[in-house]
Chains A and B, each alone.
Chain A
Amino acid sequence: MIAIDQTQSWLDQHSLTQFSEPAWLSAQRAQALSRFEKIGLPGVRDEQWRYTNLRKLKSQALSVSSPANLGIELSSSNFVRLVFVDGHFDADHSSSIDQSGVHLSSLKHALDNQADLLETHFGASLPQDAHGFTELNTAFSQDGFVLHVAKNTAVDQIIEVVFVSQSKQSLSHTRNLIIAEANSQCTVVERHIGVPDAVYLSNTVTEVIAGDNAIVDHYKIQQESDEAFHMGAAFVKQANGSQVSNHNVALSGLVTRNDIVSDLLGGGAHMEMNGLVLGQGRQHIDNHTQVNHLVANCTSDEYYKSILDDQSRSVFRGRIIVAQDAQQTNADQQNNNLLLSDKAEADTKPQLEIYADDVKCSHGATVGQLDQTSLFYLKSRGINAGSARALLTFAFANEVIDRIKVDSIKNELTQLIAGELLSGLEDLV
C-alpha cells in the first residue's frame, strides 16, 4: 500500500482547494480518492495485473516535485508544442496555435477559461472499473493539456505535447483532454521523455471525445528513462462516423502499463489501435486494450507487435466486446511477438466477448522467432547472418510503423529502430 501514505502527504502539501477549483471538480476528485482508498493499487492477484508485478514501484518513495525550469535540451520541431516538466506546464518552452475554432492550452488555463466544456467532458469517458492509477490521476492530476476543436474545423498543424520527467523520485499525474466536435480533424502526438537513469512515476490519462465524423489521430511515443515507471491510459468515446486512431509506441522505461479503451457509441465509427513494443534490458511493457462495440455498424482494427530482447517482457491483453445490439460489427485484432533472447518473455491474452450474432470478429496471436526460411533466403543472397536477422526484425517492426500517418514521426521511428537494429548492415556495403 505504497502510495496512499505518499499521496496523502502530497495531498497535505497541495490541498485540493489550493487551485480554487470549481466544485464539480473537487467532488470528482474526492470521489476518485475515496474509490482509490477502497481499491488501492493493483496487485498480481488482480486478473488484469497478473503478469505485471509492481513490487519495484511499491518499494520506491516518490513525491510530487514543485515546478522547475526545463533541465534538458529538446530537439527542434515543426509542430505546435506544449511542454510539461514533472507534470507542470512550462509556458516558456511552449508555443501556441492561432487558428479560429482551435483552443489548445494547459488544463489549469482551460479550467479558468472553458469551465463549462470541461465540466461536461472531464472524467466522462472513464470506465466504471478504472484501476487505482486512474483514480489517483483523477484525484491528483495537477495539470495536462486540453485541445478543443470546434465543429467543421481541421487543425492545420500537428500538435505535439512533450512530458518531461527530470526530478528524481518524482511523481506526476497529468490529465489531458482532446475534444473534437463534429466534422473536425486533429493530430496529436504525445511524447514522454525523462532524464537518463532517473527513477520516477509518470501517470498520465488522456480522454478523447470524438464527435460525429470527427477524425482524431493520437500518437504516444514513450521514451522514459530506463528506471522509470509509466502508467498511461487513453479513454476514447466515439460518435457516429468518427474515426480515431491510437498509435502506441513503447521504446523504454522500466515498467510500462497502458490501458486503451474505446467506446464505439455511434454507427459507422471506426477505431484503429496500433502498438509497437521494443523491449530491451529488464523492461516490462504491459498493454491492455479494449474496444467496446456498443452499437451496430462499427469497425475496429487492432495491430500490436513486440520485439523482445534481453530479459524484457511484454504483456498484451486485447479485448473486443460486441454488445447484443452491435450487429454488423467488423472487428479484427492481431498480436505478434518476436522473441530475440532466451530470457525474454511474451504473455498474450487476446479476448473476444461477443453477444451479437451478425458479426465478423477475429483475433490472432503469435509468439515466435524469425522465420528460418526467410533467413536462409537472405543468407543465400549473400547477406550475412547478423544483417539478415536485423533486416527481418526491422521488417517486422515496420509493419506497424507503416501505419503511422505523420511522415516525420514515421521517419524518426524508422531511423531510431534502424539505428538499433541495422548497425550490422554496415558490413554489407
Chain B
Amino acid sequence: MTDALAVQEQNKDLKELVKREYKEGFVTEIESETFEPGLSEDVVRRISAKKNEPEFMLEYRLKAFRVWQKMKEPDWAHIDYPKIDFQDIAYYSEPKQKPKLDSLDEVDPKLLETYERLGIPLEEQKMLANVAVDAVFDSVSVRTTFRETLSEAGVIFMPISEAVQEHPELVKQYLSSVVPVQDNYYAALNSAVFSDGSFVYIPKGVRCPMELSTYFRINEMNTGQFERTLIIADEGSYVSYLEGCTAPQRDENQLHAAVVELVAHKDAEIKYSTVQNWYPGDENGKGGIYNFVTKRGICKGDHAKISWTQVETGSAITWKYPSVVLQGDNSVGEFYSVALTHNKQQADTGTKMIHMGKNTSSTIISKGISAGHGQNAYRGLVKIMKGADNARNFSQCDSLLMGDRCGAHTYPYVEVQNPSANLEHEATTSKISEDQLFYLMQRGLNEEAAVSMIVNGFCKEVFRELPMEFAVEAQKLLDISLEGAVG
C-alpha cells in the first residue's frame, strides 16, 4: 500500500502548498512622501506641480478631473465589490530620495533590494540579456536601465514624467489620442491624477534592439497607483514591451487604475505583454488590488499590427479590456489572454476589436481558469464597421472550471455591418477531463503534476505568444496560483 502512503504524502504537501504565502507580499520599509488621502482640484494641481509639469499638462489634468467629477462609476461588469471611497485614497506617493539620479549608486539601496527580491535586478550587468527595465515604485519611476544603448538606436524609453519635460511635443500629440479623457470613469480619473509610467517612442524604420519592460510595484499603504503608459511606433518600426506588477500583502484593498495607449503607424508592430500578479487577497477575499485598467491601441496606418498578450493571475478584481482599433487597411489586431481566478478573485476581462479599415483581421484567444470561489468572465466586442470590407475575426474563449464553487462566464458582443466580413466566435466551458487526468496519473504523474500539465496545455496557445523569459515565468506563476486548487 505504498501508493496510498504516497498519495497521503502528496496530500500533505498539497495542504502545505495551499498555505503558501504570496511571495511578493513583503513591504519595503522606506521613507516616503505620501499625499494625505483625498481628491480635489488642489490635489491635481499639487501632483502637477510636484512633477514640474508644463502648463498644458496641468490644463489637461484639470479638464480630466472636471470630466471625472461628472461621471458615474460603471456597474455593468460581472464583479462584486464594496463601493470605493475615492476620498480615502492617497493619490501620490514617492520614496524620499535625491531629486535627480545620475547613476545607480544614487538609488536608495532599499529600493534596489526590493527589486532584487522581486527578481528584477536593476544593475545592467545582472539583467537578463536584452531587456531594458523601467521600474515604477508607487507613483514614481525609480530607474530606467539601458537608456544609453536605446538612445543610440534613436529609441526613447523613459518615465512619462520625464518625457513631458523632454519631449512635450510628442506627449502633447499622442496623450489621450487613443483613450480620450472622457472614455470611461477610471480613464478620466487616471488622466487627472496619473503620476508616472513609461513612455516609448520608436522612430521610423527602427526595430527596437531589446525588449522593453516596466515593472510596477505598489508599496505604500492606502495609495492608489495610477500609471500611464504611452507607446508610439512610427512607420515600419517594431517594439516588444513587457509589463509586470506586484504589491505587498495587505488587508485593505488598493486601487490600481492605469491607462495604456499604443499607437502603431504604417507598417509598425507593437507587441505588448503583461504578467499581472498584483496581490490577489487571501483565501477569504480579504485585501488585494482592484485592477481597473483601460488599455487600447490603434493601428493608425496600413499594415500595422498590435498584439496584446496577458497573463492575469493576481488582483482581487480585474476589470480590463485591452482593445485594438483597426483603422489602417490590412492592419492586424491580436489578443491572447490567460486569466486565472482562485479563492475569491473576480475577473471581468476581454477585448474589443474595432474593424474600420479594409482587409483588417483580428484574433482573440482567451483562456479562463476558475478555481475555488473565483469568478471569471470574458467580455468582448468585435465590431465590423460599414467600410471594413473583407474583415476577418476569429475568437475562441475557453474556460476551465476547477471546483464546484467557481464560475466562468462568457459575454461576447458581435456587431457586423458589412456583408463581406467573416467572423467566428466559439466558446467552451468544461472541467478538467477525468480521462486526461486518469491517463496522466496512470503514467506515473501525481495529481498536482497532471493538473499542472493539463492546465499548461490549455494555456499553451497564449504562452507561446509571450517572450521566452516571460513564458517560463508565467508558467511558474500559474502553477503557484493554482496550488491547492486540486482535490
By a CB distance below 8 angstroms, the chain B residues around A339 are 416, 418-419, 421
Task: State which of B401, B403, B418, B427 has its C-beta within 8 Å of the C-beta of A359.
Answer: B401
A345 to B419, CA, bound (A): 8
Q: Chain B 414-428 against A: per-residue CB contact (8 Å), 1 yes, 0 no?
A: 111111111111111
Shortest CB-to-CB span from B416 to chain A, Å, is 4
Task: Check if A356 is an interface residue, CB within 8 A of chain B.
Answer: yes
Shortest CB-to-CB span from B37 to chain A, Å, is 34
Task: State which of B403, B417, B422, B429 has its C-beta within 8 Å of the C-beta of A354.
Answer: B429
Task: Check if B349 is an interface residue, CB within 8 A of chain A.
Answer: no
Residue contact A354 to B423, C-beta cutoff 8 Å = no
A306 to B417, CA, bound (A): 14
Q: Chain A 341-368 against B: per-residue CB contact (8 Å), 1 yes, 0 no?
A: 1101111111111111111111111111
Residue contact B430 to A359, C-beta cutoff 8 Å = yes
A361 to B397, CA, bound (A): 12
Q: Considering the complex, give the chain B residue whose CB is closest to the CB of A366.
A: B424
Residue contact B425 to A364, C-beta cutoff 8 Å = yes
Shortest CB-to-CB span from B431 to chain A, Å, is 5
Task: State which of A340, A349, A353, A358 has its C-beta within 8 Å of the C-beta of B413.
Answer: A349
With A354-B401, A355-B407, A369-B419 as given contacts, are A346 and B414 in contact (CB-CB < 8 Å)? yes
By a CB distance below 8 angstroms, the chain A residues around B399 are 352, 354
Task: State which of B384, B386, B403, B425 has its C-beta within 8 Å of the C-beta of A365.
Answer: B425
Shortest CB-to-CB span from A321 to chain B, Å, is 9
Task: Check if A324 is an interface residue, CB within 8 A of chain B.
Answer: yes
Task: Check if A393 is an interface residue, CB within 8 A of chain B.
Answer: no
B residues with a Cβ closer than 8 A to A are 76, 78, 384, 386, 399, 401-431
Task: State which of B404, B405, B422, B429 has its C-beta within 8 Å of the C-beta of A352.
Answer: B429
Query: Can you list 13 pairs linking A and B with CB atoms under 8 Å apart?
Result: A327-B404, A345-B417, A348-B414, A350-B412, A350-B425, A354-B401, A357-B401, A358-B401, A362-B428, A363-B410, A364-B426, A368-B422, A369-B419
A324 to B416, CA, bound (A): 34
Q: Considering the complex, give the chain A residue whose CB is closest to the CB of B417.
A: A345
Shortest CB-to-CB span from B172 to chain A, Å, is 35
Residue contact B424 to A364, C-beta cutoff 8 Å = yes
Task: Check if A92 is an interface residue, CB within 8 A of chain B.
Answer: no
Q: Considering the complex, give the chain A residue whose CB is closest to the CB of B401.
A: A357
By a CB distance below 8 angstroms, the chain A residues around B417 are 345
Residue contact B419 to A340, C-beta cutoff 8 Å = yes
For the complex of A and B, 6 pairs with smallest distance between CB atoms: A339-B419, A357-B401, A352-B410, A364-B426, A365-B425, A367-B416
Task: Check if A222 is an interface residue, CB within 8 A of chain B.
Answer: no
Task: State which of B415, B423, B426 has its C-beta within 8 Å of the C-beta of A363.
Answer: B426
Task: Check if A47 is an interface residue, CB within 8 A of chain B.
Answer: yes
Shortest CB-to-CB span from B391 to chain A, Å, is 10
By a CB distance below 8 angstroms, the chain A residues around B416 are 337, 339, 345-347, 367
Q: Considering the complex, give the chain A residue whose CB is closest to the CB of B375.
A: A355
Shortest CB-to-CB span from B169 to chain A, Å, is 40
Q: Considering the complex, give the chain A residue whose CB is closest to the CB of B430.
A: A360
By a CB distance below 8 angstroms, the chain B residues around A355 are 406-407
A356 to B422, CA, bound (A): 33
Shortest CB-to-CB span from A376 to chain B, Å, is 16
By a CB distance below 8 angstroms, the chain A residues around B407 are 353-355
A352 to B368, CA, bound (A): 13
Residue contact A354 to B409, C-beta cutoff 8 Å = yes
A117 to B449, CA, bound (A): 58
A359 to B430, CA, bound (A): 5
Shortest CB-to-CB span from B341 to chain A, Å, is 13
By a CB distance below 8 angstroms, the chain B residues around A358 are 401, 404, 431
Shortest CB-to-CB span from B153 to chain A, Å, is 43
By a CB distance below 8 angstroms, the chain B residues around A363 are 410, 425-427
For this complex, into which size category does the number of interface residues on chain A fall? Answer: 35 or more
By a CB distance below 8 angstroms, the chain A residues around B408 are 352, 354
Shortest CB-to-CB span from A307 to chain B, Å, is 11
Shortest CB-to-CB span from B376 to chain A, Å, is 10
Shortest CB-to-CB span from A196 to chain B, Å, is 28
With A349-B412, A364-B424, A364-B426 as given contacts, are A357 and B418 in contact (CB-CB < 8 Å)? no
Task: State which of A351, A360, A366, A367 has its C-beta within 8 Å of the C-beta of B411.
Answer: A351
A356 to B405, CA, bound (A): 7
A341 to B431, CA, bound (A): 41
Task: State which of B404, B423, B426 has its C-beta within 8 Å of the C-beta of A362.
Answer: B426
Q: Considering the complex, give the chain A residue whose CB is closest to the CB of B406.
A: A357
Residue contact A368 to B415, C-beta cutoff 8 Å = no
Task: State which of A47, A351, A361 has its C-beta within 8 Å of the C-beta of B430.
Answer: A361
A364 to B414, CA, bound (A): 11
By a CB distance below 8 angstroms, the chain A residues around B406 are 355, 357
Residue contact A357 to B76, C-beta cutoff 8 Å = no
A176 to B420, CA, bound (A): 42
By a CB distance below 8 angstroms, the chain B residues around A344 are 419
By a CB distance below 8 angstroms, the chain B residues around A51 are 415
With A361-B430, A363-B427 as given contacts, are A353 and B409 in contact (CB-CB < 8 Å)? yes
* Apart from the given pairs A348-B412, A365-B425, A366-B423, 8 other A-B contacts in the complex at a CB distance below 8 Å: A342-B418, A344-B419, A347-B416, A350-B425, A352-B429, A353-B78, A360-B428, A364-B424
Task: State which of A352, A359, A367 has its C-beta within 8 Å of the C-beta of B421.
Answer: A367
Residue contact A47 to B402, C-beta cutoff 8 Å = no
A401 to B287, CA, bound (A): 54
Residue contact A347 to B414, C-beta cutoff 8 Å = yes
Shortest CB-to-CB span from B386 to chain A, Å, is 8
A363 to B411, CA, bound (A): 11
With A339-B421, A345-B417, A369-B419 as given contacts, are A357 and B426 in contact (CB-CB < 8 Å)? no
A346 to B420, CA, bound (A): 12
Q: Considering the complex, give the chain B residue whose CB is closest to the CB of A363.
A: B427
By a CB distance below 8 angstroms, the chain A residues around B410 are 350-353, 363
Shortest CB-to-CB span from B251 to chain A, Å, is 28
By a CB distance below 8 angstroms, the chain B residues around A364 are 424-427
Q: Chain A 175-208 against B: per-residue CB contact (8 Å), 1 yes, 0 no?
A: 0000000000000000000000000000000000
Shortest CB-to-CB span from A275 to chain B, Å, is 16
Shortest CB-to-CB span from A297 to chain B, Å, is 15
With A324-B405, A351-B409 as given contacts, are A361 and B420 in contact (CB-CB < 8 Å)? no
A51 to B420, CA, bound (A): 21
By a CB distance below 8 angstroms, the chain A residues around B423 are 365-368
Q: Considering the complex, give the chain A residue whose CB is closest to the CB of B413.
A: A349
Shortest CB-to-CB span from B418 to chain A, Å, is 6
Residue contact A324 to B426, C-beta cutoff 8 Å = no
Task: State which of A342, A357, A362 has its C-beta within 8 Å of the C-beta of B403.
Answer: A357
By a CB distance below 8 angstroms, the chain B residues around A340 are 419
Q: Considering the complex, give the chain A residue whose CB is closest to the CB of B418.
A: A342
By a CB distance below 8 angstroms, the chain B residues around A347 are 413-416
Shortest CB-to-CB span from B465 to chain A, Å, is 23
By a CB distance below 8 angstroms, the chain A residues around B403 are 357
A340 to B420, CA, bound (A): 9
Q: Considering the complex, give the chain A residue whose CB is closest to the CB of B419.
A: A339
Task: State which of A342, A349, A362 has its C-beta within 8 Å of the C-beta of B429.
Answer: A362
Shortest CB-to-CB span from B485 to chain A, Å, is 11
Residue contact B429 to A361, C-beta cutoff 8 Å = yes
